[in-house]
Chain A
Amino acid sequence: MVSLMIDGKNTSVEAGTTILEAALAIGIKIPTLCWLQKVSPTGACRICAVEVEGVDRPMTACNTPVKEGIVVTTQSEKLTAIRKKIMELMLVNHPLDCPICDAGGECDLQDNCYGLEVAKPGYSAVLERRPIRYDWKLLESDPNRCILCEKCVKVDHEIVGCDAIAVVDRGEATIIDTVDGKPLNCDFCGNCIAVCPTGTLISKPFKFKGRPWTFDVTKSVCPFCSTGCQIEYHSKDGRVERVTSEDSTFNEGNLCINGRFGYAYLNSPERLKTPMVDKKPVSWDTALSTVAERLKSFPASAVAGIASPRLTNEENFLFAKLIKTTIGSPNLDSEAGLGFSSAINILKNQIGIDGASATIDRIDKADAVLVIGSDLKAESTGIEYRVIKAATKNDAKLIVANMRTVKLRKYANSYLIYKPGSESSLVMAIAKALVDAGCKPAGNGADSFLASLSALSMTELASSCGVDEKSIRAAAALLAGSKNPAVIFGADIIRSNSSAEAVSAVANLALLLGAVGKEAGGIFPIDEKNNSLGMIEMGAVPGDGGLDINGMIDAIENGQIKALYIAGANPLASFPDNRRVKLALETLDLLIVQDILANELTAMAHIVLPGSAAAEKNGSFTTPDGRVQELQNAVNPPEGAKEDFAIISSIIACCSGDAKHQTLEAVSDEIALANPLYGSSVNRTTSAAAFEPIIIPAGTASPELTLLVGASLFHNGTSTLYSENNVSVAAEECIEFSAADAARIGVSDGAGVVVKSDSGSIGSKVKVSDNLQPGLLFASYHSIKLNAASLLAGKANTVAVTVTKA
């Protein structure tokens, strides 16, 4: 600890603390403009100048570490004069367009000028004006308003890892611009807008939507990916017009394109507003009683339900209650049935954990991170930010294993590109190399694990995953000796061809590394949707003897299931082999769809119930790392639509004849009783862990071409397809080919192809990509038009395909 005196107050802080932080800790506020706690200090604005006794110049408090015994003065006539003059210089050539500036009312420059009583133009220079960048998408940049605090550049570089903008040029001409001067081409997370202290970088969709102080601000939780960011909805006249996040939140104010701009789906003209029965608009009473009446007309075993990770815990709980108890059918599942549910079960059985073994902030402080089978940026952007933080700010060794080259590549100390379907082999190869490097498994099943591991041939494992042994050993060497490793795995493991074996292998690896129960790190399953774990924990999973998602489709086809109630999901958009699903659904006697946006599914439903979006309701979501976070309604559902909670609760009431409507509080109490993880003092602790026997799935002849269907950064699920903001920057969906495959097939960028699998065929344009190994194609699943998921089969996210020129 270092002792010092600031403005006559004695204080003691940790070595390395800056004078600014030391002052803040004892309630002394030093003016700042360029300082941003979450990035490296910049020292650009110079207004945090303070005097240190014995030092013959003012020192900037934001980037000067404390020293034992120093005496600091933060307020003096001399300092005030310096700060005022610096502010006067800052105002040289600054446009006085405050009346129409978007930052008016929330501008740090205004606040500081006001605070320091800078009332006159102290200096003058020849006026220079730089063009305003109207040609950027989603953002607008007016460099004339820029004070060069570099916060945007630093957030872009240090947190997001995008490097789209930079400080360019010299002297007065210095501005923040794109690196190449072309229109902005980035992740469009808008975190730069959030940190801009002036009206330089502004949100185009928000521009002129109103003065900031005229909006209602509602704290809530982001409804998109599994990061579970804490957000604020800014709403006026019943419309959400922007989403922000404070730096004091769990996610440190960092969002992604979906979190910041995805809200526009709320205002989509495609929002459902009228209940429909047999394609005719009806009143809510009619709709609800018809649902109850028709549902009851089937034997319970002929009814099935599909729940949604978009719905709140309370809604999922009620929906599970409706299907399983009120109707009495065990046939309940969701898209989590394609892999995430089973992954959660495996982690529970093998490691004794519910979801991730720790909260995701523990990734920040990990000293080694393995990200396997996940394009984190696309699947859960906020978790990628944490991995970047660990790698750059905590010197964590980063090992990334993926079929493709993903954005994390540039941070990786080891990057392993494995063959599709070889996940288990790769994981066991790493485990074997770890043991060879001296890593000793401990705990239940360790001996037999070790024995079966030693029976495996490294050469064979390496050759089956297509990674050379040297690289595998180098990766293991980086992991070996880690005190706090983090193991993160996503869709390519969870939905691999042999996902159970792959997830179990990853769990074994995490046990071998000792990743569970450490100060930092852990094992983290990733899902692209926000409330998958909550939904599972609410019981929205198959009951005893119940059908899972794939089983339901089979059962519909063979006539066993006649009525299906889908709440907040669209199996026609992203489910494997969804053309077959559509044909199956067409045979149903009753299809009830409760959703918020009109789509192919609502068009074919017998009954449509217009529900509500996350911004329009209360309740809670549970992230895969077990954080149960409450959301609050910022706006009401559109006129005619209803909160999902109310819809489901009314249907239960209608079905059971019990007119008593449920309250959120009552349901919360019920949940706490049903699941101790939701009790009063929740502690997700781990129970006994054990290595599971190694199962390496028998290799099948690898197809010439494999199509991988996965997530894209610019969308989350299908709701953002209705957000004009996302749509404006997302490229046209097409199928990506490696240059080698494109050349072999004889196609180039933009050419038309027909891609065919056993499930069907689709037409697409070609995009030649450096990110793919030969033999692997990639398409994102979001586009309903492309519908790449229709080529998939079963649960897997890969499928063998053939390609012909269109």
Chain B
Amino acid sequence: MAQVVFSSWGRNIIDNRKGGEAQEATFRLPVAHDGVTPMAGFMGWDGLILFDAAVDVPQMAAEYMKRVQTLYCCGKCTPGKKGTKVLSDLLAAVLEGKAKESDLDTVPDLAELLKNCKCTLCQSSTIPVFDAVEHFRDDFVSRINGVKSDKKEHRLIHKYTAPCQDKCPAHIDIPAYIEAIKEYRFDESLEVIRDNMPLPSVCGRVCPHPCETACRRKNVDEPISIMVLKRSASDYEWQHNLTPPMQPKPRKSQKIAVVGAGPAGLAAAYYLALEGYPVTIYEALPEGYGGGMIAVGIPAYRMPRHILQRDIDIIASMGVEIIYDTRIGKDISLAELKEKFTAVLLAPGAHRSKPMGVEGEDAGYKGFLKGGIDFLREAYMGKPTGMGNKVVVVGGGNTAIDCVRVALREGAELSCLVYRRSRKEMPADVWEVDGADEEGVHFEFQVLPTRVIADESGQITGVECVRMALGEPDASGRRRPEPMAGSEFVIECDTVIPAIGQDPDLSFIPADCGIDITKWNTIVTQYVPLKGADGRNLKDGMGNELARTLITDLDGVFASGDAEIGPLTVVACVGNAHRAARVIQRWIEEGKAYITDDELMEDILTNLPVYDKNEQVPWLDSANRAHQVEVHGKERASQGNYQEVELGFTNQQAVKEAERCLRCYRMAMAAVSQ
């Protein structure tokens, strides 16, 4: 295990410079930032870490402050603008031997004064500099005295981020778009959003908003309503009939094919089109049903179709052709695509329902539907769903919730959700579960379906279930639900919809074409092997390698979205696809599929992470989180009523909510061997 030479990270001082018994410390940082080049030092909002004693700390501190001041300081508050200028010039003078030792006193003085900054960038930038001067004072003093440094020069790579921005899989510059709203600049806000999110109306409505779990305002009171603010920016353009300002670059010649008009396919197409590449998307569903899982998986009362269509139309207007009603592997082969296009991006999504594993599910009973996602798609497309009057949906995710709520709107008398764990363990978003509750959905928690019951004609009449209780903790410490003997009962119903998950249908990829598929049925892509101090590869939350280039083993074919990550979220697909678009561009223009230092740092920081839920954030909690207006009452789920349930903020509400933002920008910088 690599030993830490010095660390002040998290205000916890570890100093192994003087020998003696080494104090241990581990950080969620890779030993080599690119899998090869050792990381020698790291500086950021929470302190300074040295892995290599040869790092020139004064030089690193000076460069850190210079970059903060000249590249990122917004200049919009006096202490930040002037304080970092004074510090930056002071540290430069130290390196040049032009400062006095007493000048170093300015560092603690300004570190204290800059606590009065408007946001956290400049304020937090004084922390590692303060630590450096405090703990490496001799190095600074000898530079002041004109002694040449005997340290090695390192390459310094920085990354500007914020906890929310880091946590957002699409890495939207959230503080910037919130600040724009605060300044009544909804149009500029949307421009910032679109830099990383081409489906703003969608992710302004149905995003599970992981960003809000990493919002520092939460450490004061409640997180900023980041998602609804995104909707505000997006709706503003629509509600004012404004023309989106984006202009694609001049048209290039290399054509790119994208498989699937879902969030990943649309996002990659958008960014490639902006770069001037002609993109053709092949979509299996007919025209009017673009959007992939957003369209077929998210009901219209959460995502009104005309608004989704507006986002799709805007993407198309950038120079993206969408060919509907065309399934790869059936209407056109992958080999043909590869032949016709310079690059191919596979983003087919995960639309195949998983089996439940219950007796009778494959008996072909009438009333046993194929799967939740199929039910939602058919309901949305106005096709017969096969649903009767009494519906039981099995599962605990968002799709299951969507199914019970759609069942009500399709006219079900009983809409019942069966889940084997408790309500609070449901993977579905809490607000979705509450929404279903309000609409009159019947819940059966801690219940496991064991058998589908049908009459002689093969029509389902009920589903037999058993109640579950928590057993002894298993190896992971988690108590597994176990059936309670004798608790069997029957829920009378005529329809059963399994909604326990989806996986990608990758049958269109020929077995021998060179593209590998994981055991979870996702497409294998190449990656940078980042290893932690324990020698293990760093992984993302889905168990994938942390830093992936998204090119498959078949040159010129890339993969993105649920089919690459595993079934996740719109925002994860968009972030992943945006990176895929960049890599595709590099592959076309430079002949290499790689990810940049900036992208590596992005992944490294996500793994670190940036947000610290234990941080004490001194602030007056005098402004409560705003809540959007919502249509209430059972009528909102009456038959055929797909009217939007959540209505967004008024602009005044949005501005007030934006004013709560603490603008938690910060900069990290890694020193790597040259």
Contacts and interface: CB of A to CB of B under 8 A. Distances in A.
A137 interface: no
Main secondary structure of the interface of B (DSSP, over half): helix
B184 interface: yes
A64 B659 CA distance: 9
B554 interface: no
Contacts of B619: 55, 57, 59
B620 A171 contact: no
B77 interface: yes
Contact of A85 (B113, B242, B651, B659): B113
A67 B621 contact: yes
A158 B71 CA distance: 28
A70 B69 CA distance: 35
A330 interface: no
B41 interface: no
A70 B185 CA distance: 32
Nearest to B187: A410
Given A55-B620, A82-B113, A415-B241, A171 B184 contact: no
B76 A395 contact: no
B508 interface: no
B651 A413 contact: no
Contact of A43 (B72, B118, B242, B652): B118
Contacts of B618: 55-57
A324 to B, nearest CB: 51
Contacts of A411: 240
Contacts of B659: 40-41, 63
Contacts of B620: 52, 55, 59, 64, 67, 70
A126 B117 CA distance: 21
For the complex of A and B, list the 8 residue pairs with the smallest distance between their C-beta atoms, beginning with the closest. Answer: A174-B75, A67-B622, A56-B618, A89-B82, A172-B85, A57-B618, A171-B73, A171-B69
A174 to B, nearest CB: 3
Interface in A35-51: 40-47, 49
28 contacts: A40-B655, A43-B77, A44-B77, A44-B78, A56-B618, A58-B116, A65-B622, A70-B622, A85-B113, A86-B79, A89-B78, A89-B82, A123-B82, A124-B86, A125-B86, A125-B89, A125-B90, A148-B81, A167-B75, A167-B76, A170-B69, A171-B72, A171-B85, A172-B70, A172-B81, A172-B82, A392-B184, A411-B240
A169 B184 CA distance: 20
A415 B74 CA distance: 36
B192 to A, nearest CB: 14
Nearest to A168: B75
A42 B74 CA distance: 13
B9 to A, nearest CB: 21
Contacts of A172: 69-70, 75, 81-82, 85
A86 B75 contact: no
Nearest to A474: B241
Interface in A267-316: none
Given A167-B76, A170-B70, A413-B240, 19 more contacts: A40-B182, A40-B183, A44-B78, A46-B117, A49-B116, A63-B659, A67-B620, A85-B109, A86-B78, A92-B85, A93-B85, A123-B82, A148-B78, A170-B72, A172-B69, A172-B85, A392-B651, A395-B650, A414-B241
Interface residues of B, number: 50
A789 interface: no
A395 B621 CA distance: 26
Given A40-B184, A49-B116, A66 B239 contact: no
B84 interface: yes
Interface in B626-674: 650-652, 655-656, 659
B299 interface: no
Nearest to A88: B82
Contacts of B81: 148, 171-172, 174
Main secondary structure of the interface of A (DSSP, over half): loop
A27 B116 CA distance: 25
A41 B179 CA distance: 12
Nearest to A397: B239
Contacts of A414: 241
A346 B246 CA distance: 48
A564 interface: no
Nearest to A66: B622
B623 interface: yes
A173 B84 CA distance: 12
B66 to A, nearest CB: 9
B632 to A, nearest CB: 19
Interface string A134-170: 0000000000000110100010011000000001011
Interface residues of A, number: 57
A90 B82 contact: yes
Nearest to B76: A44
Interface of B: 69-79, 81-86, 88-90, 92, 106, 109-110, 113, 115-118, 182-185, 239-242, 616, 618-623, 650-652, 655-656, 659
Contacts of B118: 43-44, 46, 60
B117 A170 contact: no
A147 B651 CA distance: 29
Nearest to A33: B78
A394 interface: yes
B41 to A, nearest CB: 24
Contacts of B70: 170-173
A326 B322 CA distance: 81
B78 A412 contact: no
Nearest to B114: A89
B654 to A, nearest CB: 10
A564 B113 CA distance: 75
Nearest to A392: B184
Give the residue among B73, B79, B82 with the most A Cβ atoms within 10 A.
B82
Contacts of B75: 148, 167, 169-174
Given A46-B77, A67-B622, A171-B75, A412 B240 contact: yes
B133 to A, nearest CB: 16
B129 to A, nearest CB: 15
A173 B184 CA distance: 24
Contacts of A126: 89, 92
A258 to B, nearest CB: 26
B595 to A, nearest CB: 26
A171 B89 CA distance: 12
B116 A86 contact: yes
Contact of B84 (A41, A44, A67, A171): A171
B76 A148 contact: yes
Contacts of A204: none
Contacts of B83: 89
A150 B78 contact: no
A59 B623 CA distance: 13
Given A89-B79, A92-B82, A172-B81, A157 B113 contact: no
Nearest to B186: A392
B99 to A, nearest CB: 11
A129 B72 CA distance: 20
Given A49-B116, A55-B620, A170-B74, A125 B240 contact: no
B78 A45 contact: yes
A125 B72 contact: no
A126 B74 CA distance: 19
A270 B115 CA distance: 60
A395 B240 contact: no
Interface string A380-410: 0000000000001111000000000000001
Contacts of A167: 74-76
Contact of A157 (B72, B88, B185): B185
A777 B662 CA distance: 51
A52 B220 CA distance: 14
Contacts of A154: 183
Contacts of B82: 89-90, 92-93, 123, 125, 172
Nearest to B654: A395
Contacts of B184: 40, 157-158, 392
A170 B86 contact: no
A40 B659 CA distance: 10
B73 A170 contact: yes
